[in-house]
Amino acid sequence: MPAQPLFIGGTSSNAGKSWMATAICAWLRRRGVAVAPFKAQNMSNHSFPCRGGGEIGRAQVAQAEACGLEPEPAMNPILLKPGATGCHVVLNGHPWKTLPARGYYEAAAELRGHVRAAYEDLARRFDVIVIEGAGSVSELNLREVDLVNLGLVTALDAPWLLVADIERGGVFASILGTVGLLNPHERALFRGFAINKFRGDLSLFDDGVRLLETRTASPCFGVFPFAAEIALDAEDSLSIPATHGEPPPGARIAIVRFPCLSNATDFRLLTWADWISAPPPDDYDFVILPGTRSTIPDLSWLRASGLADWIASQHRRGATVIGICGGFQMMGRAIHDPSAIESEVRHAHGLNLLPADTVMHHDKTTCVRTATTAAGTSFAAYEIHIGTTTLDGAPPPFARFADGRDDGACVPGAIGTYLHGALEHPDVCAELFRIAPPAAADRSAQYDRLADWFERHARNLPHLGLGIAAP
């Protein structure tokens, strides 16, 4: 028997769809349901390699973990990674094409078949599929090419609920406006709405719930409070948290916020670090160049913004520059892109902080790693990059893999590595920054808290039609 789908749509971007979908996944798993996540199309430069091969969006990785599953490409068949010259389309976990927006929409019919095949693959293996939408479900101009929102809902005859963010205001207009724009098929599958990110006394919105239930003729599935104590991976760079806390002595850190920044989750432990987009007036002990979807274009931006000269001056005065993935490539002498994979620029001079040269090529490295630093710290990490970097003079590596191969390079004042996730380990941070940040909260404990949060505040769940009784 095929799985029962449940679609989670939003009134807008950042309304809490990923959060709600992850919470429902964790709650269903707790109740013994074989559940899997699905997002047909995700736009994010935050991705993660699956152990079985390929990469998917970070939010679906979290949802898979909440389900107790190993992430796999079927959970996110289309991943769009925006860059300087269009979107790099990752299809079923692997590079497909780089397309402009219009070109992507022209490919919608072809891509729709891949979406349906991925969904049906999961539906044969699980009891419930929790489907996350993208952005707002009310983008009427995209209805004909929709792969991820209500076009998918009607294709699957999937019951669905709408999530609205009350924190940003306009919750009545966003819910009533969205419901008012539904066509008859979409309206017939609509089961109700949920209010997310409420701060304060939840009972203060009781009248609001009654008004919305009356106007929509649909039930409210709960008013859910803002939960600062629960930490989930950010889906994209829009969710980079604000800096908080004083920098520890000797560990003042600046992180460059590239236009095509990728995998900002690398820095979840560095809560005191300053994210910068222009040369700041202050000096730092460490400057970090993160990963990027478009290395040469972001290197050009680094120079145009004045940050390249600022980084050089910080390096001269004694700061250590750390580059991860694309940031590592920038720290070398040159980057070559003979096939114009990233942009029309075929060659760029690097920052000349490491004795390295990088050549871009079509083959993409996506793999999970276990590595050990020179000081003996073992850690898990992952690689997602194009390009091969060659080092001159055999500088000490950043880390070594179990098979004896080396990663990255370390010279006085400069460290480069391809390993995303290295700085998510407190012991690695302690080795680099001479201070141990607090460890990130245990992921399984976070999913338990999220299931508790959902169970405590959910209501009217029989209306979802999953055959599961209310908490």
Look at residue 46 in the predicted model and tell me its pLDDT: 86
Q: Take residue 445 and report the two structure tokens written for it.
A: 């404990």
Q: No. of H helices and E strands in the chain?
A: 13, 26
Q: Looking at residues 35-56, what average pLDDT do you find? A: 94
Instruction: Read off the pLDDT band of 467 (50, 70, 90).
Output: low
**Tell me, what's the pLDDT at 241?**
57
The pLDDT tens digits of the residues spanning 176-217 come to: 999 999 999 999 999 999 999 999 999 999 999 999 999 999
- Tell me how far apart the alpha carbons of residues 208 and 196 are, in angstroms, rounded to a whole number: 13
Mean pLDDT across the chain: 92
Greater confidence (417 vs 362) lies with: 417
Asked which of 112-126, 168-182, 237-251, 343-357 is least confident by mean pLDDT, the reply is: 237-251
**pLDDT at 470 > cutoff 70:** no
Would the pLDDT of 68 be above 90?
Answer: yes
Tell me, what's the pLDDT at 344?
A: 82
Query: Beta strands 41-43 and 47-49: pairing type?
Result: unpaired
Q: What pLDDT score was predicted for residue 444?
A: 87
Instruction: Give strand pairing partners of 321.
Output: 287, 414
CATH topology of domain 4-231+445-464: Rossmann fold (3.40.50)
Highest mean pLDDT among 114-123, 136-145, 237-246 belongs to 114-123
For the annotated catalytic residues, the residue numbers are 325, 420
**What's the confidence (pLDDT) of residue 8?**
98
- Domain residue limits, the chain: 4-231+445-464, 237-440
Q: Which CATH superfamily is domain 237-440 in?
A: Class I glutamine amidotransferase (GATase) domain (3.40.50.880)
pLDDT at 234: 61
Question: What pLDDT score was predicted for residue 437?
Answer: 79
Angle CA(48)–CA(264)–CA(323) in degrees, nearest 5? Answer: 100
Per-residue pLDDT, averaged over 290-296, amounts to: 94
More confidently predicted of 397 and 434: 397
Q: Please check whether residue 90 is in contact with residue 79, taking contact to mean a CB–CB distance below 8 angstroms.
A: yes
Q: Which residues of 179-213 are buried (b: 16+ CB within 10 A; e: fewer)?
A: bebbeeebeebbbbbbbbbbeeeeeebeebbeebe
pLDDT at residue 134, rounded to an integer: 94
Mean pLDDT over residues 3-14, rounded?
Answer: 94
Most confidently predicted of 227-236, 238-247, 292-301: 292-301
pLDDT band at 49 (very low <50, low <70, confident <90, very high): very high
Do 4-231+445-464 and 237-440 have matching folds?
yes
Identify the CA nearest to 334 among candidates 344, 318, 322, 345: 345
pLDDT at position 469 over 60: no
pLDDT on residue 169: 86
H-run or E-run covering 360: strand 356-373
pLDDT of the residue at 468: 63
